[in-house]
Structure 1
Amino acid sequence: MKGKTLQETAYDEIKNKIIRGDFLESGFTSQNQLAAELGISRTPIMTALQRLEHEGLVKIIPKHGIQILGLNVQELEEIYELRLAVEVFTIPKIVKLVTSEQIEILEEIIQEQKKCIENNDLFQFLKLDSAFHLQLIEVYGNSLFVQTLSNMVERLFSNIYFYRRKDYQISRYIKEHEQIMEAIKSKDINQAIKELETHIING
């Protein structure tokens, strides 16, 4: 159990470092460096890295180190196409099934995103952006859709450098989320689809 706990801890910590953009400048790290930074022995570190490699977030290069992988243009397009297919498909049922409690959760996420802009907290803002979309899919109730979307947003997180561009206005995401919610609350399926499509395509 102790080994499993260390492996899970190493996995979570390394993934968070990738998501935060800790490796943006070098694009590389090493097993020894991660072990020293996290205070975890090499064995659980390597197990975590193998899991992250399977997920496409890193590449283990023997005798050279750990390369942090980004997405190329084709991979980005494929992810957004899949997001469109999954998320837009779920909207009609979401509009019909969503409860007042679920709407409250979604709107609370939007309010938390506004606080992130005030605090200049890009990392938390993007985590909340993912939470917003995952919460919508959870209303639909398909666990495979939830897992698929979760995997996709994690891959997008590995490209956090994109969101650091000076010309990228993350505040528009909030407005688009609010427009999606207005359509859902109004039970306007066509408008909700339109707003969600626009939001994803803008990404």
Structure 2
Amino acid sequence: MAASRNNVTPETSKRRVEVISNDHPVDSARPARRNTTELAYRELRRRIIESELTPGSYLLEQELGLMLGFSRTPIREAALRLQGEGLVQIVPRHGIRIVPTSISDIRHIYQVLLSLESTAAGLVASKADVDLSPLVHACETMSDAFERGDMLAWAAADEVFHETLVALSGNARLRGIVMNCRDQVQRVRRFTQMVKAHPQPLKSIQEHYAIIDALRDGDAAKAADLYRAHRERGWRDQTAVLQQYGIERA
């Protein structure tokens, strides 16, 4: 009897495999779900940064789902991620609040960026054989966009310049902190550009080239100082626009 119980035929083996497979099915939906959540996150983040969603407004998950073309689950997961980045606030029984940014918030964020991005510029200048061509290309793209009168493209290329410089520093932790802060800066920048055109787009390009020259020369102190001055001017320009139009929160 014991021998018969232990006798395994191809048929019984097949059935056992089927049982095991049914008990532990492969979740083929997980990659698709992650992809959907990522798409929802990117689109919701874009609309917040572009000020397409009104700062301070409340939106239900279902409402956002219909607006963006996603089900409630990826919207909820995207909102949780954006809440960690300080762009939204999930309020029970009220929905998802688009967190506005005040002038004082931006001042504090710029204080962080001024320090960290200037440090990044110094690190890049101190590195040997660093490829600065992406920075030059970003400046060329800014110039081309300005000549076409496409200030959105100009702003996008400007952001590429700053993000690339930080990446070239090779400090992943510094880059992570900077990128988290830059979301709020981009929001206010987009907002102020809708209110009033950038006051000195050519000057920004010239300052970029001056920073590149300092990086190429390996002058860390000069690169950091030029970068800090460039950022301080940007902060003053944005603050002036907000104050001119009496805007306390954007």
Confirm or deny a common fold (TM above 0.5).
yes
What is the aligned counterpart of 2:163 among 125, 134, 147?
Answer: 134
1:158 aligned counterpart, secondary structure: helix
If you compute each CA radius of gyration, which structure gives the higher value, 1 or 2? 2
Name 2:50's counterpart in structure 1.
20
What is the aligned counterpart of 1:192 among 208, 220, 223?
Answer: 223
TM-score, normalization: structure 2? 0.71
Name 1:51's counterpart in structure 2.
81
Name 1:2's counterpart in structure 2.
32
Q: CA deviation at 1:186?
A: 3.1
Count of residue pairs brought into register by the alignment: 201
> C-alpha distance in 2, partners of 1:98/1:133?
20
Post-superposition CA distance 1:46-76 (Å, at most 9, x none)? 1101211121101223343432222222321
What is the aligned counterpart of 2:63 among 22, 33, 42?
Answer: 33
The answer (yes or no) to whether the contact 1:97–1:139 under 8 Å persists in 2 is: no
Computed over aligned residues only, the root mean square deviation of the Cα atoms, in angstroms, reads 2.3
Q: CA deviation at 1:89?
A: 2.2
Specify every segment of 5 or more residues in structure 2 that has no aligned partner in the other structure, as ranges. 1-30, 235-250
> C-alpha distance in 1, partners of 2:36/2:163?
27
Post-superposition CA distance 1:91-147 (Å, at most 9, x none)? 3331131636x211111011222333325242x443433322222222221110111
Post-superposition CA distance 1:136-195 (Å, at most 9, x none)? 222221110111111111121232212333263251322221221122223333332221
Percent same amino acid at aligned positions?
25
> C-alpha distance in 2, partners of 1:28/1:52?
14
What is the aligned counterpart of 2:213 among 163, 176, 182?
Answer: 182
The answer (yes or no) to whether the contact 1:30–1:66 under 8 Å persists in 2 is: yes
TM-score, normalization: structure 1? 0.86
What are the residue-to-residue correspondences of 1:11-160 with 2, within 5 Å? Answer: 11-24=41-54, 27-97=57-127, 99=129, 102-117=131-146, 118-122=148-152, 124-159=153-188, 160=190
